[in-house]
Structure formats: C-alpha cells, structure tokens
Chains A and B, each alone.
Chain A
C-alpha cells in the first residue's frame, strides 16, 4: 500500500512536470498531440493531489474493529450470553440505540437504564454498539426501511469500506439484510451478538423503524451474509 505522504509527493512532482511540459509543448514547440498527453497528466496529478490530502485517518480501520470485537466477546463470554441472539432497541426505549442480550426476552424491556449490566428477572447486558455510534456520528437515520438501507450503504460501504453492497428487504414479518462482499477479517465465525454486521444493522433497523428488532437468524452463503430480523 502506498502511504498518503508518498502519493502527495508523486502528485506534486507529476503536477510540476506536466504543467511545465504542457506549457512548453503548446506555446514554444507548438505540438498539439504532445500537449494533449501532458494535459492528461495534469488532470491526473490534480486528482492525485486532492485524494492524497484527504484526511489523515485510516479509511478501513480493521484492527480497531478486531480489538472492539474481542472486548465484546470477552464481556459476553464472561456472563455466558455470547451465543444468545440479541434484541436491538431504539433510542426511544433505551435513551441511545442499543443491543440488549438476555436469557429472559419474553417481553421487550421498557425504559432501560443506561448501564452495561441490567438485573431484573435475569441478567441482561446492554451495549451501545458500533452501529449506535455510527448513527450518532453520521447524523442519524431516517424513518423506514429505505432510509435504513441508505444508511447501511453509506456507513458500511462508503464510510467503513467493509462491504460491497447492502440490500434491505421485507419478507413477511421478517426484515432481511443481505450483505454482499463482506470483509472476512472482521467476522471470523463470530457468534451473532459479536458479529460486527449484526451490531451495525440491528441498531439502524431499530432506530429507523422506531421499534425493537430481534435477530432471528444469521446465515452465511458464499460471499453473502444474510441477517434476518423480526420486529417485536
């Protein structure tokens, strides 16, 4: 991978060479075809310079996500809830879009306190996931499934560059999220509550529909991940 600094220097050198060569070939030598080639270089150098100076953070923070997954897995394994399908709550219920995992999920909880461990009936874990923070970071998600799909595209595909495509469809009572071209480095046979795509899609769906959604099934087929949610 070429470092952004190197790319900037390459852009600068190409810009200097192409602009001087263009001016020389057009105004002094008077050779149009040669000038056209240098004009192409000039255009490319402008794009290269602009792209190389675009922000200093990693576009694809895979290592950060891996460390985050590790922490979530450890917490859930510690309390024996790592293989329970999670419930996702909108901010209306829990103050902030959240993931709630508990053995006792007959009734969706109401007005959950903003704490990690919830005691009442059985032990529950309430986590503000990556998806919850993306909703906050990217300025919220609109109402309806089409807004959820647009948000998942802009966050997973464009912002984090972790997928090639996202489709959200309704199938009876279920909401299906089909993620194509997902990054295997950030999944690695994770159980449902640790799976990063579940953690992003869940809060987004819950928030856009303004109702709790339960992950019914997580399946993988070839290059696709299929997440099946049910409204509670």
Chain B
C-alpha cells in the first residue's frame, strides 16, 4: 500500500475492527454494552501500537483519544470489579445517580 498514509490505513483498520467486533458479539448474543465498548477500546490500542509511529501532529491529537478511552476503560473495569466485590454499594451509588 505504497503512497497511502499510515493514518488512513489506521482509520480503515479501526472501522473494520469495530464492525467485526460488533458483528461477532451480536451473533454470540452478547447483551452487556460495556463488553462491546471495552473491546472497541482494546482494538483501538492494539491498532494504535501496530501503526505507530504517526506523524507528530496526528500523534499529539491521538493522545487526547488515548486518555479519553483509557478513562472510559477504567470506569468499565471499576464497574465490573465493584459488581463482584461490593454489588450492594454499587447499586446504592447507581440509585443515588
């Protein structure tokens, strides 16, 4: 793929990965939204590492999404951990929200 910028290949690969993940999980009958989102984020990080290094300007911009997706991923992990170790506390928090 000479001449095609790495950034474009990254975006196309991410779109393909997201489509594949959602198709496979829907076929499997998955009903937990956080599973879908965490796998999308995982695919993002894998492809980000695979296609690095990006041009500096793109890399600086993608750091914003790195942080944003990491926060979302951490919230999902924290939610799952809380669901296992202290479900009643979690339910109280969710009810308060």
Contact = CB atoms under 8 A, between A and B. Distances in A.
Interface SS of B by simple majority: helix
B68 A46 contact: yes
A59 B62 CA distance: 16
Interface residues of A, number: 31
Nearest to A37: B22
Nearest to A57: B57
Interface SS of A by simple majority: helix
Interface string A156-187: 01110100000000000000000001010000
A21 to B, nearest CB: 13
A36 interface: yes
B33 A32 contact: yes
Contact of B6 (A46, A55, A153, A161): A161
A17 interface: no
A108 to B, nearest CB: 34
Interface of B: 2, 5-8, 11, 14-15, 18-19, 21-22, 25-26, 30-33, 36-37, 40-41, 44, 53-62, 64-65, 68-69
B40 A54 contact: no
Given A44-B15, A158-B54, A39 B61 contact: no
A47 B40 contact: no
A47 B11 contact: yes
Contacts of B22: 36-37, 40
A26 interface: yes
